[in-house]
Amino acid sequence: FTTNRAPAAPVVLARRRVAAGHASAVLVHAGNANACTGAEGLRTASDATALAARLLGIAPAEVVPCATGRIGAQVPRERLLVGVRTAVAALAPAGFPHAAEAITTTDAFPKTALRRIVLGGSRITVAALGKGAGMIAPDLATLLVFVLTDAAVPARVLRATLGEAVGATLNAITVDGDMSTNDTVLLLASGAAGNSPITAGSRQHAGFTRAVTEVLDEIARLVVLDGEGGTRLVEVHVRGARSDGDAQQVARAVAESTLCKAAFHGADPNWGRFVCAAGTAGAALDPNRVVARAAARMRQTSFRLELDLHLGTGTARILASDLSPEYVRFNAEYTT
């Protein structure tokens, strides 16, 4: 979930419910974040999940609420409840792409990913759908991602898998450096594949984690490619840091620097800006030893920027977008 200190009402409720390690449904609405809405917002989220639970024949605690959209306005309660009834009535095995489309807000396109693997003789499917285009920063963002699998996986193994996979993917992206109130990523396993439950540290666990990481990486790339006002996907790679933590700090500093993002947009290999941004990270740095490489292919839609600090073996990668005039125009007019 988001690490923002002003979490939205659905996040507050969802945190309580997933703590038990069991969920049967996820209720998502787009267009209103139900954030900064106080006690009334919590009641609305609770009432909506209670209705969904009654219609599905499950306990309210088994419904995890999520929301995305404008912050600071109350959700029209009756419209939301009508939407819940409509959504439950429309549930169907072929509904996956429709769900991906329904949760978008400023997204230009829905985001999905799929992997099929064999574990212990059983065929396993891992599928993900997500949304996000703005307020995207490391440690999640206005980002809703749901990973679904038919594998049998205990809750504690799911938590370990998701923690590892998110760190290398969704927590390593940035569009505008702003952190949302509503970030949520969920991993749900039905057990319908009939495999023996995956145990922590096993070969099956490694294969499952790899598949989850791959679908999350695909969603992460789609989110950055769809970044509001963005025209480029930039892979900022840092190596030679004293530690991985230092490398991560430097990569974030460069990826979130307004000047660097402007250089990305202008296809300007301005190594001075990149080194300057690296120096703001607070990590160990010797400017006389830094080597920055930004290839002539910066004019392409996707390219890689490398910084070698020549101080150790620490490495990190962050996916970033550029900063264009369109981003400013879009967000200046967002609520109107």
Just list the catalytic residues. 142
Measured distance CA(261)–CA(181) in Å, rounded: 24
Measured distance CA(37)–CA(43) in Å, rounded: 10
Task: Report CA-CA distances (Å) from 151 to 22, 121, 172, 207, 281.
Answer: 15, 12, 26, 12, 41
In 96-147, which residue ranges form alpha helices assigned H by DSSP? 96-102
SS3 3: coil
Contact 178, 162 (CB under 8 A): no
Contacts of residue 301, defined as CB under 8 A and 6 or more positions apart, other chains included, come to: 225, 231, 232, 233
Measured distance CA(214)–CA(220) in Å, rounded: 10
Contact 168, 217 (CB under 8 A): yes
- DSSP structural state of residue 198: P
Does an H or E element contain 188, and which?
Answer: strand 184-189
Q: What does the chain come to in residues?
A: 336
For the chain, the farthest-separated pair of C-alpha atoms sits apart, in whole angstroms, at 65
SS3 287: coil
Contacts of residue 112, defined as CB under 8 A and 6 or more positions apart, other chains included, come to: 96, 97, 100, 127, 128, 129, 130, 219
φ/ψ of residue 20, rounded to 5: -75, -15
- Residue 138 has, within 13 A of its CA and on its CB side, a CA count of 18
Could you identify the residue written with the tokens 């390219």?
Answer: 303
